[in-house]
Amino acid sequence: MPRPGSDLGSDDTGCPILHVDMDAFYASVELRERPELRGVPVIVGAPGARGVVLSATYEARRFGVHSAMPMTRARRLCPRAVIIPPSRGKYSEVSRGVMEIFHTFTPEVEPIASDEAFLDVGGARKRLGPPAAIAAMIRERVVREHGITCSVGVANSKFVAKLASQHCKPDGLMVVPADRVVDFLHPLPVAALWGVGERTEQSLVRLGIKTVGDLARVPVETLQRDLGQAIGAHLAALAWGRDERRVTPNAPDKSIGAEETFATDVGDPVKIRKELLRLSERVAARLREGAHAGRTVSVKLRRADFTTISRSRTLREPTDVARVIYTTACDLYAAADLDGIRLRLVGVRVENLRPAAEVTRQLGLGERETGWREAEQAVDRATRRFGRDAVLPASLVRPSFDEIDL
């Protein structure tokens, strides 16, 4: 049922697009095993001083806590919150199950995160009924099969459907009829438009534009003059509910990466390279899991003063091998000339992806196959059977000699 005060109507004619978004996903997954915490402020995230909030229940959000907030600030805002360290394998399992539910209703599913997706159910009407009924069935199955709730927006475009799901959270369903889109959009703050970040919002407010309706009444030429040709035209279209983007099933990943914020700033190159190895292993495993390979390896190095340095290198051929990614990452770290400089965060990312099946390994004259890829595939099989961290590089299992305090 739509949440009180959020229903514009139940006419879903011409509204084949659903945006399904899990409610406080990571926190909700944790509460399945700790039902005694329901109704209590709960924060999921690394509890250390450098940790950040991964998810927060709506009870915690009332205190101003939100995802990506530093844990130290979240604790100040909500000192009575229960902190739960994340258990990522559990979230991936639930995410896969939820996406499988979506695919039983339509093949037109576009995941945009582990806990949300767009669905085009236009082709399922004859078999399953109108879009709002399909949305209700999806919500019921997610609760029944996974013990968590989701909110669903139903509309004639991706943009409006996503806004509707946000508007009816938590545990809501909202239909924005095709002939009521403008009524829904125009009272909203201008920051609700995709592409309006903090700076753009400040620029618009200085022009007296505070709501979507205010922006809709500004000539597009004026917006293009003040904001640029592309963004001006983009915002003018959205303000009138025009969004021509289709739901794209199985949209290819543009990049795969991982990063880690140290508990305390680290300046020891040995420890930094060890973290680069850990991240390279993680990225390579995700590449192989998704049947991807990539040509461009990049590193992100954030200093203690929050200055961030990025370096990248394009390889001769695509790879999904951790050893290749790690070696390249170490070379990029060395090229950044940061030895002895204390770092707050390091990250590794592989870009320029393509299907791994399309990649043919070409050996140079006299070059011998290293066997690293086959070894890492064997590790993948062990991990699937015995769990993450079942097999690790030796340097990640025990301290190296130069780290032992003798």
Judge whether 116 counts as a catalytic residue.
Answer: yes
Cβ proximity of 275 and 346 under 8 Å: yes
Spatial separation of the C-alpha atoms in residues 294 and 288, rounded to whole Å = 11
What does 337-365 look like in DSSP terms, one character per residue? T-TT--EEEEEEEEEEEEEGGG----PPT
Query: Could you say which of 30, 116, 275, 281 is catalytic?
Result: 116
Please give the distance of CA 129 from its chain centroid, rounded to a whole number.
31
Q: Which helix (H) or strand (E) holds 140?
A: helix 131-146
Q: Which residues are annotated as a binding site for Mg(2+)?
A: 21, 115
- The vertex-170 CA angle with 169 and 176, nearest 5°, equals 35
Rounded CA-CA distance 365/275 in Å is 34
32: helix, strand or coil: helix
Q: Return the number of other C-beta atoms located less than 10 Å from residue 23's C-beta.
A: 20
CA-based nearest residue to 178, from 19, 2, 11, 4 = 11
Q: CA–CA separation, 315 vs 37, rounded Å?
A: 49
What's the rounded Cα separation, in Å, for the pair 264 and 275?
Answer: 13
CB atoms within 10 A of CB 27: 28
Q: Residue 230 burial by CB count (10 A; 0-12/13-18/19+): exposed, middle or buried?
A: exposed
Q: What is the largest CA-CA distance in the chain?
A: 75
Tokens representing 44?
């999921």
Half-sphere exposure of 82 (CA within 13 A, CB side): 16
Counting runs of H as helices and runs of E as strands, what totals does the chain give?
16, 12
The pair of three-digit structure tokens given for residue 132, joined into one six-digit string: 């709002």
Q: What DSSP string describes 264-327?
A: EEE--HHHHHHHHHHHHHHHHHHHHHTTEEEEEEEEEEEETTS-EEEEEEEEEEEE--HHHHHH
| Residues marked as catalytic | 116
